[in-house]
Structure 1
Amino acid sequence: MMKIANVSTPELFVLMGFSFSAQPSLEPVLFTVVLGFYIVSVLGNGIIVLVSCVDKHLCTPMYFFLVNLSFLDISINTSIVPQLLTNLWGPQRTISYGGCVTQFYISHWLGATECVLLAVMAYDRYVAISRPLRYTVIMSPRCCIVLAFTSWLGGLSTSLVGSTLTVLLPLCGNNRIYDFFCEMPLIIQLACVDTSLNEVEMYLASFIFVVLPLGLILLSYGHIARAVLKIRSAEGRRKAFNTCSSHMAVVSLFYGSIIFMYLQPAKSNSHEQGKFIALFYTVVTPVLNPLIYTLRNKDVKNALKHIMLENCCGFSGK
C-alpha cells in the first residue's frame, strides 16, 4: 500500500511548455519578451493601485474595483510567470509537487475571482449610467466592499472545492504536463481513475463563475445601450460610452482569451495554439489592462500627472 501511494503522487511535475527543439535560439528570445511583459505588468498595475489610493479624486466605486482588478493581474502574473522564466532559462522543466498544487489552487482562485469582478464592474457602470441620481446611494462604500469581498470569496470557494478534488486523484506516476504552468484540467487528465465527479464539478463551476458572469455583463451592457440611446445629445452619448469603453475592452480581451483557449478542437496544432493563447492571457493581458485604463481615461492620466508634478516640485524644493 505504501508503494502505491508513493507512485500515485509524483515528487516533481515536468512542464513540457513550448517546443523549441527545431529552433532552440527562440527560448532566450521568449524569456526576454516574457520578462519584459512581466516587469511592465507589475509596474503598470502597481501605478494604478498607487494612483487610485493616493489621489482623492479617484476614491470612487469604479476605481475601487479597478484597484482590485490591478491587484488580481499582479497576483496572476506572479503565480505563473516566475516559474515560466525559470524553465525558459535553465535546462530543467520541472516544478515540485507542492509548487504545482499551489499554482493551480491560486490560478483557479484568481481566474474565478476576475470573472466575478468584471461582472461587478459592469454592474457599477450600469448603475452609473442608468441610475445616475441614485448612484452614490446604491454603490455605497459598504456595498462596494461587500461586492469585492464576494468576488474574492467566491473565487476562493470554487478553487478550494475543485482543486481539493483534483489533489485527491491518484496520478499513478504520471507527471508530464503539456503546458507551461499547472492548471486543474491538465492535472485531471493525468489521473488514472474515473474523473467524472471532477469533470461535473468543473463544468458546474465554469457555468457559475464564467458563463453566468458573462451573461450578467451582457445584460448590464444591454441596459446601458438602451439608456445611452435615450440620451438626446451626441456629447452626452459620447461621455456615457467613454465611461464604459475601457471596461468593454478588458472584458473582450479576458473572455476572448478564455473562449479561444478552452473551445478549441482536440488537435495537436490546436493544442500548441492554445499554449500561446494561454501565454497571451497570463502575460500580455495584464499589461494591456493598465494601458487601456490609462490611455483611455483622463482621470487616471490627470491624477498621474498631478502626482508626478507634486514629486518634481517637492524634489526641487518648491
Structure 2
Amino acid sequence: MPEEVMRQLNQHLDSLHEPVMRMVLVDIECGFRIGELLRLKLDCLKSNGKGGWYIQYQMYKMKKEHTKPISNELAGVIQEQQAYIRKLFGNNFSYLFCGRARQHSKEFIPEPKLMTSASFVGNLKRLAQQFEIKDQSGKLWDFQTHQFRHTVGTRMINAGVPQHIIQRYLGHESPEMTMLYAHIFDETLRKEVEKYHELKVVNFQGETAELDETILSSNDDLEWFKKNVQARALEHGYCARPKVLGDCDIPDFDGCYNCPHWRTNKTLYQFKRHFRAYQQCFRKSSKLWLAATSS
C-alpha cells in the first residue's frame, strides 16, 4: 500500500470496531497471510523471558508452527484482545479473533466463530468509503487482504533489512519468494537517486546542471544511468557525457575539468577554483623569487 494510504488508514483506525482495529494493527506489523491472521490461537502471545514478545502461529502454506518477534506495543494490543475474547466466551472459543453476527449491522455483534476474509476486508472497504481514503491519483483505495503482507515486505526491503531476515520473518520457503517484495516504490527510488546526485549539481563553470526529469521517473532509473552515461570517475567529480554522443575524445583527465559534461558539487567546485587560484599565485611568486635571486 502507498504510504499516503497507510497514513489515512492509521488516522481513521479508531473508527473501526475494536476487534477489527486490533486485527489491522496485528497485520500492519506482522504481515500475515489472511488465513494465518484469522486462525491465530487465543494463546498465540509468548514471552521470551527477557521482556520481549513473540507471536506463535500456524503457517498457512507449510502447515507448521512458526514464531516471529513483535513489539511490546503490539503485545499490549493482543493482550487486550485476549481479555475481550475471554470475557465474551470464557474457555469455549480458542481463537484470538471472532466473527460477527448480522454482517450488515452497524454494530459488531460477536459470535464464537472464525471471521471470514470477506468480512475482514469488507470493514476496510467501508472505512475507505466513509473517510474517502484515496491514493495519490485521487482514486478511492480498494483494500485487499494481501496488501498488508506486501507492505511489510516492501518496507523491510526499503529499510535495508537483509533478505534472509525478511524471508524468515514472512515465513517464505525460498529466497525467490522474498524477491517478489524486493521492489522499491517510485518515490523511494526518486529520493535515493536525488540523494545520490544531491551534491553533483554544477558543471565546469559552476552553473547548476540538474538531471533531466525523465532520469528519475521509473524503476529502471539506476540501470538507465549506468547504460546511458559514461560515468567516468574523476578525483573531484564525474563525467555525465551521454553515450549516444560516442566515446570521449579527451586524451587525459586534466582536460575533463574544462569539459561541459563534467559534474561536481558546489563545495568541490569552489575548492577546485580556489586551488587553481592558489596554484597561479604560487607560480607567480616562484617566478618573482627566481628573478630576484638570479639578479
TM-score (norm 2): 0.25
More strand per residue: 1 or 2? 2
Larger Rg computed on CA atoms: 2
Q: Relative contact order: is structure 1 or structure 2 higher (C-alpha 8 Å, sep ≥ 6)? A: 1
More helix per residue: 1 or 2? 1
